[in-house]
Amino acid sequence: MGQLQKLIHEKLDPSDRTDRVGRYLDLFLITLIAINVAAVVLETVGSINARFHTAFWVIEVISVVVFSVEYIARVWASPEHPEFQDKAHPRLAYMLSPLALIDLLAILPFYLGFIVDMDLRFLRVLRLLRILKLTRYSSAMSMLLDVFREEANAFFAGFFILIVLLVLAASGAYLAEHEVQPDKFGSIPAAMWWAMATLTTVGYGDVTPITPAGQIFGSLVGVVGIGIAALPAGILASGMADLLRRRRAELTKQLRVALEDGVIDANEEEELEQIRRDLGLSKRVAEEIRDDVQRSRKHAGLGQCPHCGRNLG
């Protein structure tokens, strides 16, 4: 039983795809997700849905069966995952992980349709969440999730600042405009629509201040909104740059270890390639890092005797 768990984990886990079966399985799941999302989108076109309704239903059933089997298999084999094998309840810990929750959301709308009486259009939209399953196969999306996880406190701080400014902006707009525009600024909650549209620099124009005080205050809120809108982008860019720097440093470290004996054999080459894929770095970046490491080793060895390795200085 343990060997079967290990085998399933090796075929499904994105950290181990050196064999042909694993690669074909990944390609099959990615293709199925793409077909599924396309079918959900096309279903919203009345003429297309009327003509291919049966085909869409077959795609849905097949997809749910495959995704359900995949989810159950991943949960069952999760004790073999390095991240969860030391947990007291590895399967429960895996089920609460972000990727497992995405897998669950991908199949949940189908079963909810049989259990709960809900609007089918709402369930169709929920099925579009299956596109998030591509996160498992995209190093860029995985990197983005890692940044959100690592910078969660910074994002929370930015969100908290936005909430405070939203309340202050809505309060100021209410004081300046509620007498002349009671239908749009009659209360602070009503003014929050204008405050949110202005702070996020969307500016729909459906609600605007008309008093001099309100226009001056609105201009200040708009200027502040430019900085607020740039805050999450700055946090994200900084987090991405820091994560890339650390991943490059990790690959550099592993390359230096592999080159300690002066050569990289076939096994070390395979391990380095696996590390590169795990870190989500492109082959071009890996080659640049390798060239830098080899160049630095060459410069470091210029002052040494080629026979004994002693410094000649």
Q: Report which of residues 313 and 20 the model is more confident about.
A: 20
Residue percentage of the chain with pLDDT more than 70: 88
Residue 164 belongs to what domain range? 153-239
Average pLDDT over residues 31-43: 87
CATH number at residue 158: 1.10.287.70
Q: Are residues 231 and 282 located together in one domain of the fold?
A: no
Instruction: Calculate mean pLDDT across residues 51-59.
Output: 90
C-alpha to C-alpha distances, 306 to 48, 114, 312, nearest whole angstrom:
74, 76, 10
Task: Please identify, among 137, 170, 201, the residue that sits at the C-terminal boundary of a domain.
Answer: 137
Question: In the prediction, which pLDDT does 300 show?
Answer: 66
Indicate whether 285 and 207 sit together in one domain: no
Contacts of 172 (CB under 8 A, 6+ apart): 217, 221
135 contacts 272 by C-beta, under 8 angstroms: no
pTM (predicted TM-score):
0.61
Are residues 52 and 108 located together in one domain of the fold?
yes
pLDDT band at 1 (very low <50, low <70, confident <90, very high): low
Domain termination site, one of 73, 108, 137? 137
The enclosing domain of 80 has a CATH number of: 1.20.120.350
**Do 9 and 92 belong to one domain?**
yes
CA distance 203 to 195: 9
- Measure the CA–CA gap between 268 and 188, rounded to whole angstroms: 64
Decide: helix, strand or coil at residue 221. Answer: helix
Q: What is the pLDDT of residue 18?
A: 55
Least reliable range by pLDDT among 6-10, 68-72, 181-185, 286-290: 6-10
Q: Is the pLDDT of residue 157 over 80?
A: yes
Structure confidence at residue 313 as a pLDDT band (50, 70, 90)? very low
* Same domain? 263 vs 235: no
Report the largest interatomic distance among the alpha carbons of the chain, rounded to a whole angstrom: 91
Are 230 and 246 found together in one domain?
no
**Pair 17, 58 in one domain:** yes
pLDDT given for residue 58 in this prediction: 92
Which of 287, 299, 289, 283 has the alpha carbon at shortest distance from 256?
A: 289
Cβ 50 vs Cβ 157: under 8 Å: no
118 and 19 both lie in a single domain:
yes
Q: Which residue has the higher pLDDT, 171 or 274?
A: 171
Domain end call among 239, 254, 288: 239
In this structure, is residue 145 part of a structural domain? no
Rounded average pLDDT over 106-130: 71
Q: Which of 245, 246, 251, 252 is nearest to 293 (CA)?
A: 252
Considering the domain architecture, whether residues 163 and 126 belong to the same structural domain is answered as no
Together in a domain, 18 and 89? yes
**Kindly report the CA angle at 146 between 144 and 150, in degrees rounded to 5?**
120
Q: Flag whether 142 is in a domain.
A: no
pLDDT band at residue 156 using 50, 70 and 90 as cut-offs: confident
Determine the Cα–Cα distance for residues 100 and 192; give it in Å rounded to an integer.
36
Number of domains the chain is built from: 3
Residue 150 · residue 42 · CB < 8 Å: no
pLDDT in tens, 4-34: 877 787 777 755 455 677 778 888 888 988 8
- How far is it, in rounded angstroms, from Cα 53 to Cα 228? 46
The answer on 205 and 123 residing in a single domain is no
Lowest pLDDT segment from 93-107, 219-233, 268-282: 268-282
Predicted pLDDT at 172:
93
Residue 146 lies in a domain: no
Do residues 219 and 233 lie in contact, with contact meaning Cβ atoms separated by under 8 Å? no
Structure tokens at 19: 């064999």
In a domain, 147, yes or no: no
**Average pLDDT estimate for 155-184:** 90
pLDDT confidence of residue 203: 76
Please report, in angstroms and rounded to a whole number, the separation of the first and last CA atoms in the chain. 62
| Model confidence pLDDT, tens digit, residues 296-306 | 877 765 445 54
Dist CA 56 CA 71 (whole Å): 22
In a domain, 183, yes or no: yes
Is the confidence at residue 167, as pLDDT, over 90?
yes
Whether residue 66 lies inside any domain: the answer is yes
> Is 72 contained in some domain?
yes
pLDDT band at 255 (very low <50, low <70, confident <90, very high): confident
Q: Calculate the average pLDDT of the chain.
A: 81
Tell me: the pLDDT tens digits for 202-248? 878 788 899 999 899 989 998 888 888 788 888 888 888 888 888 88
One domain, residues 184 and 66: no
Cα separation of 32 and 54, whole Å? 17
Q: Is residue 247 part of a domain?
A: yes
